[in-house]
Chain A
């Protein structure tokens, strides 16, 4: 909206003085158009090292078979499915930020959606590696698709949640990819028109011939909106279907109807935490404080409070229903979670997911970068424990006491998990090097309506009454990227 006015009372989404359109392009493209600095190389080196441990661990797994993991006859799913659900959950925030916030016309999504969507793609890739690995015979992975075959055309069982999962995850990945790439086209064209030589040629191929004409933009906006509209139910359905993997079974502690909404809330929760983890560092390293402002950080923290509280209520509901159902197996499953051999995992989950996000009620913590970053890591750890608790504590003691066992992860389990984080960070760091981490066109879109300088101009022109402008200036106190000096002479 170029000619649209926004209430002065809304906090600015872009700070800084005298920002021009070309300045936005320059600042966002700094990491893309220059040689990487030391910090990037150090980060990349560490990430690649862990990614290589992943390669080693997965190769060893394929070579030796699943026996190298800590699985046994009773606990057939452990760190593999934990990792899978955790990664898919992390992936969800990208779609949420892109699609849901677009539908709700939340302009603060514009600065963070591109990185978050890239995160989605990479997280789902990590999740998919777990899926392939846990099959045991990954060279037969195509058996999950309903392909004509020579077993008399034996089709997959469409009543099975695992088959639903195949469809859900593959659809989710491909739609996210297309959504992300379409959004990137204008930005790739921007890089293309500034580059020379081989880089220009490569970006020219990648830009599909984007020109930025009226019709291009009109169709682009139409496509974005429709994709957002279909991605929103998609993202909810995907984690719902992931939860069906558990909820449609008869396992005590699994067959609860609360699973779908509870998993979706948990996914948004952990996803936003991961976005915080990455972007708080990125904004500092890339000097993007003017685009990813304290308002963005605070908004994400508010989402974390909401979803964290939903997750907390879901935990309590689970406990209540387990007791209220009168099913002794169900009651024991939850008693075992709280006070059994895995009590430490349950209480880590409770502490990290229910208690720690409540700290965000305090404005001081919500607007502190260090606290947000530490808490976002804590939330990620907590969500990993949640998946672990759901999967392992339900499996290791079910109906027959004679088959009760404990699960102990092997070195390979640990290396695979740590390695998958390495793969994720490797991909993310490469993304920051070759593609813009902030959606350039979308940030330009809000420069004239929602930036600090536009609002200052309004105040200077006397278009705002005194009370409102004072309220506005008060809201700027939390920003670390606004110098208050320019307001003194208004």
Chain B
């Protein structure tokens, strides 16, 4: 018992898994994380996750792009080397709209992506931290920290009642690939 780190409840159906989460919460058992092969809507509210702040990040990066574009064009065409193009004003704002827009989108998209990678600790070659290999295929896995929650038998029964098809006990945190 002492060397079991995580109890994993495997479900075959997302609704049964949600039911299982509810059961565990009724019994004050803390859930470490849930691994699913697809996004499950409504699970964040159930587990009390806050809304993602990525949209705010995207907006800030977008504004950065707008400012970058306008200041770059202003510097190059108005300040550094103003040209007389048919007697038109150097600062021809309507002409700068397309590039300003494109750079806004570019900065917003890339800024948000890198924020997303940073927040999730994603980078090429990172060791995947999966608790079970079938969690990316067809199993909905609830992971429970065995050290924080006593009475593993009770947890097992709860999961089984909720419809778990399999209960696993992991002695290591992640199934590594070595």
A contact residues vs B (CB 8 Å cutoff): 1-4, 20-22, 25, 146, 152-159, 163-164, 167-168, 171, 174-175, 178-179, 182, 185-186, 189-190, 192-194, 200-201, 204-223, 226-227, 230-231, 233-234, 237, 241, 244, 440-442, 444-445, 448
Contact = CB atoms under 8 A, between A and B. Distances in A.
Contacts of A155: 76-77, 80-81
B124 interface: yes
Contacts of B55: 222, 226
Given A21-B138, A157-B85, A206 B102 contact: no
B49 A234 contact: no
A4 B128 contact: no
Interface stretch (B33-41, B153-161, B163-171): B33-41
Nearest to A194: B137
Given A168-B98, A178-B113, A444-B38, A209 B73 contact: no
A222 B57 CA distance: 11
A383 B130 CA distance: 48
Contact of B123 (A209, A222, A227, A241): A209
Interface of B: 12, 14-15, 18, 33-44, 47, 49, 52, 54-55, 58, 62, 72-73, 76-77, 80-81, 83, 85, 88, 92, 95-96, 98-99, 101-103, 105-106, 108-110, 112-113, 116-117, 119-130, 133-138, 177
B136 A175 contact: no
Contact of A152 (B52, B81, B116): B81
A235 B152 CA distance: 54
| Chain A residues touching B, majority SS | helix
Contacts of A211: 35, 128-130, 135
B110 A174 contact: yes
The 4 closest A-B pairs by CB, nearest first: A209-B126, A2-B14, A21-B138, A22-B138
B177 A200 contact: yes
Nearest to A3: B15
B159 to A, nearest CB: 17
Given A223-B113, A230-B108, A159 B92 contact: yes
B120 to A, nearest CB: 6
Nearest to A237: B101
Given A2-B40, A445-B38, A226 B54 contact: yes
Contacts of A219: 52, 54, 116, 119-120
Contacts of A233: 101, 105
Contacts of B129: 209, 211
